[in-house]
Every structure is written in C-alpha cells, then in structure tokens.
C-alpha cells in the first residue's frame, strides 16, 4: 500500500478512471479524466483520499446510494452516475469504436441510442435476512456487502413503487441468513419474482411464501430455482404485438425501449427476406416480430423459452409460419448446408459470442446477416470472421440499455 497523487487519464472499459502509477496502470472508481487525486494505492487499485482538480464533466449523482458517499455503502448497481451526459455517451460509443479498431474493421458507427432513467423492467437484486431487517439491493463492488436501497433511478416506477412488496415476499422466502438473488421482471400483468440461491425450504415456509404472494395483488408469479410456487396470473410481455409468457428467470431484454430499437434495426435490414433463421432465439424477441413478414425458424438451446415462443406463435393470428428447434449452438452449430436455404440470419448470442456458429455462417453465403450483441469484444471477433470471407458491414449501432454502467449493446448488419 502506498499513497500517490496522480492525474486520471481516461475511463477504462469497466467504467473506472485509469492513471499511471509507479508500477503500471491504476484503476480508480468514480473518477473522471483530468482529475488530480490523492490515492491509497494497493497493487493496481486506487482509493480516492482527496481530490484537488475536479473535472468540469463531473455532475451530482441521481441516486442517494451512488458512490463512496452513498447511503448504506457504495451501491454496485451503477458506475458512471458522476459523469456528464456527453462524456458518458461518448464513452459508450467509444467502446464500440475501440473494439472495431482492435480487429481492423472499417464501419460507420451510429450515434448511441440513449437510455433514460426509469426504463429498466428487469433487474436482479441481492437480498439477505438479518436479525433486524431484510436487506434488499445491490452488492457493493467486489464485496458481499449488500447496499440496501430505498430508491433506484434506473428501475421502472412499477418496480420502485413495489420495493416494499418485494421485501415482504423476500422475508417470507428467507430461511436463514445466507444471501440470495431475486430477478424482478415487470410484466403487463404484474411482477414476476424469480428467487435463486435459497435451499431447504420446508413445506410450511413454502405455504407461507405462497400466502404472502396471494395477499399482494401486484405479484403475477413467484418461483424458486426455476420451480413455480404460485402464479396468481400468468406474466405476459409484448413482443411487437405478440403476447408471450416467458419462463421464470429466463432472459428478456432489460428495457423495452432498447428492445424496440434493436428490433427496428433487425427488421429494417431483413427487408423483404422471405425465410429467416433466428439463432439464440430465447422466447422470441425477434422471431415473433419477424414472423409478421417472413417465415421464421427459431433455434434455442433452452427448452422452456422455446416452448413459450412456440406457444405464442401458435396462438397469435396473422403470423407467417414459425418453426422451432432445440439445439446447443455452441456444441452443435447450424451447419453451412443447413443455413444456405435462408435469405437472412439473425443471431443474438450470450456474452461469449458465437465463434463456431459464425464460421458456419461465413461458409453459408447467406446474403444478409444481423448480429446483436451485449459484448463489443466478442462481436468484433465474430464480425472479423464474416468480413474475411467477403461480407460487408453496412451499419453498426450502439444501444444503451444498462444506464450508468459500462455495458453497451450493439446491432451490426452485414451483406454478402
């Protein structure tokens, strides 16, 4: 441990300020470029002791729980509330520019599609019962300390106004002092509460939790480790006019505006394509919208989301035929010979990207491809594979879905 006075040079990929210490880069949370700070330095981590030069781009945080001065500790839900809108938006777009440059890819990058407070319909809380209360919030960065929240400007009003309801249900679910996670999804019919990490609930505790939910009109479903405990009303979300009931805790886009922006880009690039394959289809975010205009084959590795997609497609009038296939695309990617019968491919893989699948796409020669990604680094790796065999990147659009974080979504379109 040493004490150093240093100047922050830039914001790193994780949202921390970066400066040069005596032995290499030092990462300093909650700082901005140009700020001179006295630091307690431990290896490559710096903790601000005092600040002499403050950036003109520094703004007051929007939440009482943010930063080192946060109420109940430093909330890990956000990392960049202290940055001005212009600095923050430039940072997110630059993440995409830097990723493209790292693979020598040439493409115009559109302005960032902005996120706004109160848009998050899905968030994951950590909770733990203590002798005095039920802690509900987000972990302090790099610790197991839970910062219990009383507000959350990123979350939807429908979630924030029901924090007391979520706490009440969590109290009924907590069997000991071990921490657990709650995925909260605001649906059209109420909150979908999916608990994970709770073990050994006995029948009496389960009954108590069910009775607690039945006493709360705003909860549509309660599940534990994927098992539905009670479902007073089926949770429903809307994918472009198609009603879908996703399985407990399954992946959905975190905000509806970001989902709409991504979908518009996908549909615009597909144009008049008549046969489309949607890889890593989930519960049908893109498939069900595409089916308004084209035949769709939806491929997904998890059974329950695929069944939700299939059920929604079968029970919605006015859609083109939708077929589904359960398949692990990491272990058994769709082969080029299977892909070449389609006019267009849409793929939206997890953070790891889809290298093996992309190599088969490259061999297929399908005219149009849309890549949707939550990780610019793996996205550009996959794009490089396609560009190397003659695909041309026609657009790259960064989309902010996780406000005040270092995460950015990207939609890239390609043509052979």
**C-beta separation of 298 from 320 below 8 A:** no
Contact 414, 385 (CB under 8 A): no
Cα separation of 83 and 44, whole Å? 22
Cβ neighbourhood burial of 256 (10 Å; 0-12, 13-18, 19+): middle
CA-to-CA dists, residue 293 to 53, 120, 139, angstroms: 56, 29, 44
Neighbours of 95 (CB within 10 A): 20
Binding-site annotation, residues for S-adenosyl-L-methionine: 253, 280, 300, 348
> How far apart, in whole angstroms, are the C-alpha atoms of residue 193 and residue 179?
16
Question: How many Cα atoms within 13 Å fall on the side-chain side of residue 179?
Answer: 16
CA distance 350 to 250: 13
3-class DSSP state of 85: helix
Whether residue 374 lies in the annotated active site: yes
Q: Hunting for tokens 């990723």 — which residue is that?
A: 99
Give the gyration radius of the chain's Cα atoms. Answer: 23
**Active-site residue list:** 374
């Amino acid at each position: 441990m040493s004490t150093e006075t240093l100047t922050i040079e830039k914001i790193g990929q994780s949202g921390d300020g970066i400066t040069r210490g005596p032995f290499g880069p030092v990462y300093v949370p909650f700082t901005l470029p140009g700020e001179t700070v006295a630091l307690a330095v431990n290896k490559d981590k710096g903790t601000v002791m005092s600040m002499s030069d403050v950036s003109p781009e520094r703004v007051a945080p929007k939440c009482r729980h943010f930063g080192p001065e946060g109420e109940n500790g430093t909330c890990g839900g956000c990392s960049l509330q202290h940055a001005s809108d212009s600095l923050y938006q430039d940072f997110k777009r630059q993440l995409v520019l830097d990723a493209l440059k790292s693979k020598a890819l040439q493409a115009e990058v559109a302005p960032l599609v902005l996120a706004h407070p109160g848009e998050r319909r899905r968030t994951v809380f950590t909770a733990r019962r203590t002798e005095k209360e039920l802690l509900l919030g987000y972990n302090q960065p790099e610790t197991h300390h839970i910062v219990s929240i009383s507000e959350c400007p990123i979350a939807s009003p429908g979630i924030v106004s029901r924090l007391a309801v979520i706490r009440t249900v969590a109290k009924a679910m907590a069997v000991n002092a071990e921490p657990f996670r709650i995925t909260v999804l605001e649906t059209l019919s109420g909150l979908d509460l999916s608990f994970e990490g709770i073990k050994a609930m006995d029948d009496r505790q389960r009954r108590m939790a069910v009775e607690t939910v039945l006493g709360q009109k705003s909860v549509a479903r309660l599940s534990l480790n994927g098992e539905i405990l009670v479902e007073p009303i089926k949770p429903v979300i809307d994918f472009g006019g198609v009603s879908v009931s996703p399985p407990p805790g399954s992946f959905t886009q975190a905000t509806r505006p970001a989902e709409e922006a991504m979908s518009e880009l996908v549909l615009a690039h597909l144009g008049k394509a008549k046969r489309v394959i949607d890889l890593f289809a989930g519960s049908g975010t893109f498939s069900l919208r595409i089916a308004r205009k084209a035949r769709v084959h939806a491929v997904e590795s998890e059974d329950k989301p695929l069944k939700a997609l299939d059920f929604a497609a079968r029970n919605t009038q006015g859609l083109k035929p939708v077929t589904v296939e359960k398949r692990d695309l990491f272990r058994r990617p769709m082969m080029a010979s299977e892909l070449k019968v389609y006019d267009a491919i849409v793929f939206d893989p997890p953070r790891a990207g889809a290298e093996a699948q992309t190599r088969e796409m490259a061999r297929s020669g399908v005219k149009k491809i849309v890549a949707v990604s939550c990780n610019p680094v793996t996205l550009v790796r996959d794009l490089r594979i396609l560009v190397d065999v003659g695909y041309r990147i026609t657009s790259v659009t960064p989309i902010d879905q996780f406000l005040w974080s270092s995460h950015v979504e990207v939609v890239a379109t390609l043509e052979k």
